[in-house]
Amino acid sequence: MQVAVVTGPGAVELREEPRPAAGPDDVLVSVGACGLCTMERRLYDGTKPVYPVAPGHEAAGRVIEVGEAVASLAGTPQLGDLVTMDLLTRCGTCHMCRRGRSALCKRPQGGTLSDGTISMGAGLAEVVSVAAAQTYRVGEIPVEQAAMGEPLACVVHSVRLSGFRAGDRVAVIGAGYMGRLHLALCRAWGASRVGLVDIDEQRRTEATGAGADWVAGPDDLVRWQGRHDAVFVTAGTPGAVELALDLCDDAGAVVLYGAFPKDVMASVGADRIHHHELSIIGVFSQEPEDWRTAAGLLESGALAADLDRLVTARYRLDEVADALTLAASQPVYRVMVG
Ligand SMILES: [Zn+2]
Ligand SMILES: [Zn+2]
């Protein structure tokens, strides 16, 4: 079977790899679509120079083989089921996994292909073997939507940890793919209003078309200050934390979702946090319970129209170079391969 390997900046090749075997607790999945995330883009544009590497962690497809220990087990995806796949390593035995924070599992993530090439998901492939416990049935939906299971689970995690409740007033900083998923989810879950902040006018216009109650540039926020219960920062830029705090009402939560440059510091008065019961919450990746929720949302169709809007382009696996070039060279929501 074929798997895409990034061998250097701007260089990707399809390698022939023995078809993986399903262990007793695993399923084999024929990949139908795999989304290109920030990690794939950074590997391809050279900002994360780890080579050679088999990326692709936002994958979905149909089960083509079921391990003997999980065959016919209630709740386990079976032959022919469409599934979204959690390709993270969750060892279950480190301190974080035992605390229920397996997103922060201490076991090194990833694995290797047969020739020792580093695998970071290896979902840009024809077939993937994965623990059955880390696959989630999504019913019969377009496979591109199913491939949004991983980012949607991350956003479910983000909104869950914010303490969000129906009726809350929400602002999202950054109207890219992750900002738009926050918009879709908070609307579906009953936010009284959701506003998006972005520097790019085109993205603001598209967010309005997708149901944002208001949009604004970062310099145009005076009327929205102090009026939100939860503020999600999906664009980690200098000043974003301070901006988010200014948008919060008392008891507001700022959720730091997107990655920041390592040297970015934030400045906030300690007494302001105390007196106004503000929270600043870091979120990273997702937990199995977030996957379960995300898969249920996918199957329900509640977000179908929102997700369809976020597919920028679709390529076959043998066109993976074109897909990565597009994703690395211009603003996109999601480019799908498979
Ligand atoms: Zn991702
Ligand atoms: Zn662990």
Ligand 1 centre from 272 Cα, in Å? 34
Report pLDDT for 21: 87
Residue ranges making up the domain that contains 259: 154-282
Distance 288 CA to ligand 2 centre (A): 13
Beta-carbon contacts of 336 under 8 Å, excluding residues fewer than 6 positions away, are 33, 34, 35, 36, 144, 147, 311, 313, 314, 315, 323
The tally of domains found in the chain comes to 2
Residue 290 lies in a domain: no
Long-range contacts made by residues 322-329, C-beta under 8 angstroms, separation at least 24? Answer: 323/36, 324/6, 324/12, 324/36, 324/40, 324/41, 324/44, 325/10, 325/44, 327/36, 327/40, 327/41, 327/44, 328/10, 328/41, 328/44, 328/45
Token duo for residue 102: 């397996």
Query: Do residues 114 and 160 both lie within one domain?
Result: no
Of the ligands numbered here, which is closest to the C-alpha atom of 104? 2
For residue 303, how many other CB atoms are within 10 A of its CB? 20
Q: What's the pLDDT score for residue 138?
A: 98
Question: What's the confidence (pLDDT) of residue 123?
Answer: 97
In this structure, are 165 and 134 located in the same domain?
no
The average pLDDT across 299-307 equals 98
Distance 97 CA to ligand 2 centre (A): 4
Do 212 and 122 belong to one domain?
no
Show which of 265, 282, 299 is a domain's final residue: 282
Average pLDDT in the 175-180 region? 98
Sorting pLDDT into bands at 50, 70 and 90, what band is 110?
confident
Q: What is the Å distance from ligand 1's center to 250 Cα?
A: 32
Confidence of residue 250 (pLDDT cuts 50, 70, 90): very high
CA dihedral 94, 96, 98, 101 (to 10 degrees): -140
Residue 294 in any domain: the answer is no
**In terms of domains, do 165 and 137 share one?**
no
Q: What is the pLDDT of residue 69?
A: 97
Is 173 found in the same domain as 138? no
Tell me if 292 is assigned to some domain: no
SS3 call for 150: helix
CATH (domain of 200) = 3.40.50.720
Q: How far is the CA of 310 from the centre of ligand 1 (A)?
A: 14
121 domain residue, yes or no: yes
Mean pLDDT for the chain?
Answer: 97
Q: Is residue 261 part of a domain?
A: yes
pLDDT at 55: 96
Asked whether the predicted pLDDT for residue 108 surpasses 90, the reply is no
Residues 66, 90 within the same domain: yes
Choose among 315, 241, 312: nearest CA to 281.
241
Mark whether 160 and 139 lie in a shared domain: no
Q: Which ligand is nearest to the CA of 97?
A: 2
Residues 200 and 226 in one domain: yes
Instruction: Give residue 109's pLDDT.
Output: 86
CATH code, domain carrying 86: 3.90.180.10
- Place 283 in a pLDDT band, splitting at 50, 70 and 90: very high
Q: Are residues 197 and 104 in the same domain?
A: no
Q: Are residues 126 and 262 in the same domain?
A: no
Contact 125, 55 (CB under 8 A): no
CA of 9 to the centre of ligand 2 (A): 31
DSSP 38: H
Q: Which ligand is nearest to the CA of 257?
A: 1
Q: Does 233 map to a domain?
A: yes
Is the model's pLDDT at 310 over the cut of 90? yes
| Cα 284 to ligand 2 centroid, rounded to whole Å | 15
Residue ending a domain, among 282, 300, 320, is 282
Residues 54-61, mean pLDDT to the nearest whole number: 97
Average confidence (pLDDT) over 284-302? 98
Residue 33 forms part of a structural domain:
yes
Q: Is the pLDDT at 18 greater than 90, yes or no?
A: yes
For residue 289, being part of any structural domain is answered with no
Report pLDDT digits (tens) over 181-202: 999 999 999 999 999 999 999 9
Q: How far is the CA of 88 from the centre of ligand 2 (A)?
A: 10
Answer yes or no: is pLDDT of 139 > 90: yes
Q: Domain boundary at 238, 266, 282, which?
A: 282
Burial class (CB within 10 angstroms; exposed 0-12, middle 13-18, buried 19+) of 158: buried
State pTM to two decimals.
0.97
Report how far ligand 2's centroid is from the alpha carbon of 86 (Å): 14
Lowest mean pLDDT among 102-111, 296-305, 320-329: 102-111
159 shares a domain with 139: no
- Cα of 91 to ligand 1 centre, how many Å? 20
Same domain for 143 and 266, yes or no, is no
Considering only the C-alpha atoms of the chain, give the largest distance between any 2 of them, rounded to a whole number of Å. Answer: 60
